[in-house]
Amino acid sequence: MKYFLLLSFCLVFTQVKAQRSGPSNDPDNIEKTVLATYYHRKFEGRRTSSGVKYRAKQLTAAHRTLPMGTLITVTNPDNGKSVIVKVNDRGPFSKKLAIDLSESAAKQIGIYHKGIASVNLNYTLE
């Protein structure tokens, strides 16, 4: 009976350790489901918070708190399409929205005509 309990404990411990060491449990890798929108055309050519001009054809985004230059994988859960964008601006300033995508990024994942859509964000903090 002692050996059975010891073996059972070892198996449970091994499974728990394997679950903790998986790549999806990396504490620096963050996954969130949020509401996203995209920049209006009137912002074309205007300076962003990082100092560069906004260009609708580039794959960029605005986020309120992430460091400038952070790369975010944005995925549309409705169709599975994803795009990698670089944070170069601050916003959106509505508490309901978490990210503003460039026009090109919104088109690539299929949310351009929706206005606001639920998306999955995946990024790593360094």
* Spans in the chain with pLDDT lower than 50: 3-22
* Structural domains present in the chain: 28-124 (2.40.40.10)
The pTM for the full model equals: 0.78
pLDDT of amino acid 13: 44
Residue type, 39: Y
Q: For residue 28, what pLDDT is reported?
A: 83
Query: What is residue 126's predicted lDDT score, i.e. its pLDDT?
Result: 77
What pLDDT sits at residue 24? Answer: 54
Q: Is 10 exposed, middle or buried (0-12, 13-18, 19+ CB in 10 A)?
A: exposed
